[in-house]
Amino acid sequence: MNYIKQIITVTRWEYSRFFKPKNEAIGLIIMLLLSGALYFGGKYALSESIPEIKVFVLNDNNGTLTEILKNNFTVQQLACGQKDIFIKGLNENKNNVLLDIKNGTIELYAYKNNRDIKRLKTHLDIYHQQIEMQKLGLSAEQLASVLSPASTKETFIIKDNSSNRLILSYFFAGLMILAVFLSFAYQFTAITGEKQLRITEQIVSAISPQVWMDGKILGITLTGISSMITYSLLFILGGVIYFQFTGASVLTILEYLHLPSIALFLPFALIGVLIWNAILAAIASVITDPNNSGKSSLMMLPVVFVIASFLVTRDPDSGLSVFLSWFPLTSATSMPMRWAITEVGIWQLIGSFLILLLTFYLLRKIAAKIFRVSILLTGKEPSWSEVYKFVKMK
């Protein structure tokens, strides 16, 4: 049985062990139901939680404040001698608010500060502007002109850093985090589980540790990629539904799906997930007891590197962003993100991808070496210096 055939057999086995379309569908339905429940439930809860306030105004002699507030609040004038009684009554009339205008200052009395009070304050700002405007003798149009931003006409040669591309780059990073989390879970379960069930000896008597490691890395990577594709399709569907609700054209979603960026992301993502699976497999190989191992926390290491890729969006042309898009532990996410939002030379793409490929090749070899020696260690967990010796073994 040749190497390729053995790898295909192991890959198919690992893939079928972990990628369950039925479970995936159930998970998606549960996620949709939960999202719906959170959205509508939250909306309902927030709408019901704060009752509308009733605003009483004192000393609004020319009625300007009442005029500004009446479209958004229930407003009522308060008689002069009623102020003290009103303030005493706030303990019972908790939704009442008093605004007393005194020498250009507005005194506010309410039972407690809440969202409606904040909303009320924005209208008080408008009132303040109008009063100041009247003092200066400015018209409403003149004030609007003063407050408006500078009028500019922008022309760029590179037009790729649009907000749509930025959203797409965030989406890439999100998908990588998803794939890394899945790889973490499956690789950890697969290898530590097999060690605990003592299956390894039987398997490596039939195939070499390198074949088993390669098959495992490939199978679990494909599981992660399958989930990435499933969730991507779900998000596209969600986007289509969202645009329908907002009255935009369904085709608006296409503005976000920049096909060259996606075409670049796929190979980078594939090799990136393979690299992380090789690293996770190597770490899982030296863990003998997943419940008590100090090395288990290392399995979270990939997430740190994937999250670091978000720094690219702050300034895709900075030295840090360029480094992240070349460094093999971050480039799988950072390079497609940079490419989506700025100009990246083709030689950079090729160079970064070759480094990524080379890193994967070396890491899978190291992972298999560690796995080969750790395979029969079911008692004492090897120390880092012992792991280093495993790597150096011929």
Partner 1 sequence: MQNTVLRVKSLSKNFSSVKALNNISFSINQGDIFAFLGPNGAGKTTTLRILLDIIKADDGQIEWNLDGNAHRLPKASQIGYLPEERGLYLDIPILKSLVYLASIRGMDKTEAKKSALEWLERLGLADRAKEKLQVLSKGNQQKIQFIASILHKPIFAILDEPFSGLDPLNQELFIEFIREINNQGTTILLSAHQMQLVEKIANKVFLINKGEELYNGSMSEIYKTFENKKIIELHYKSALNENALKNFKEAENIEVIENSIVKLTFGQNSDLKTVLSNLAQLEGDFDISTHKPDLHDIFLYLVKNH
- Which chain residues interact with partner 1 by CB under 8 A? 1, 6, 9-10, 13, 17, 194, 197-207, 375-376, 378
How far apart (Å, rounded) are the C-alpha atoms in residues 350 and 335?
A: 11
In the complex, least distance from residue 212 CB atom to partner 1, rounded to whole angstroms = 9
DSSP H stretches of helix in the chain: 3-18, 21-49, 64-69, 83-88, 115-136, 140-147, 163-197, 200-204, 209-245, 252-256, 259-285, 301-308, 319-326, 331-341, 346-374, 384-392
In the complex, least distance from residue 200 CB atom to partner 1, rounded to whole angstroms = 8
How is the beta sheet containing 96-102 ordered, strand by strand?
74-77, 54-58, 96-102, 105-110
Q: Are strands 74-77 and 105-110 parallel, antiparallel or unpaired?
A: unpaired
Tell me which residue of 305, 230, 312, 231 sits closest to 273, measured CA to CA: 305
- CB-CB neighbours of 73 under 10 Å: 18
- The separation between CA 380 and the C-alpha centre of its own chain, rounded to angstroms, equals 39
Select 31 or 376, whichever has its Cβ closest to partner 1. 376
Select 194 or 255, whichever has its Cβ closest to partner 1. 194
Select 14 or 100, whichever has its Cβ closest to partner 1. 14
Residue with tokens 């971050």: 330
Select 152 or 202, whichever has its Cβ closest to partner 1. 202
Select 13 or 40, whichever has its Cβ closest to partner 1. 13
In the complex, least distance from residue 201 CB atom to partner 1, rounded to whole angstroms = 4
Select 90 or 204, whichever has its Cβ closest to partner 1. 204
- The separation between CA 391 and the C-alpha centre of its own chain, rounded to angstroms, equals 36
Residue with tokens 């940079």: 338
- CB-CB neighbours of 371 under 10 Å: 24
In the complex, least distance from residue 302 CB atom to partner 1, rounded to whole angstroms = 26
In the complex, least distance from residue 199 CB atom to partner 1, rounded to whole angstroms = 4
Is the Cβ–Cβ distance between 108 and 57 less than 8 Å?
no
Q: Are strands 74-77 and 96-102 parallel, antiparallel or unpaired?
A: unpaired
In the complex, least distance from residue 182 CB atom to partner 1, rounded to whole angstroms = 18
In the complex, least distance from residue 295 CB atom to partner 1, rounded to whole angstroms = 22
Select 43 or 198, whichever has its Cβ closest to partner 1. 198
In the complex, least distance from residue 339 CB atom to partner 1, rounded to whole angstroms = 40
How far apart (Å, rounded) are the C-alpha atoms in residues 11 and 7?
A: 6
In the complex, least distance from residue 197 CB atom to partner 1, rounded to whole angstroms = 5
Select 218 or 312, whichever has its Cβ closest to partner 1. 218
Select 9 or 226, whichever has its Cβ closest to partner 1. 9
Residue 15 half-sphere exposure toward CB, CA atoms < 13 A: 17
Bridge partner residues of 57 (DSSP)? 77, 99
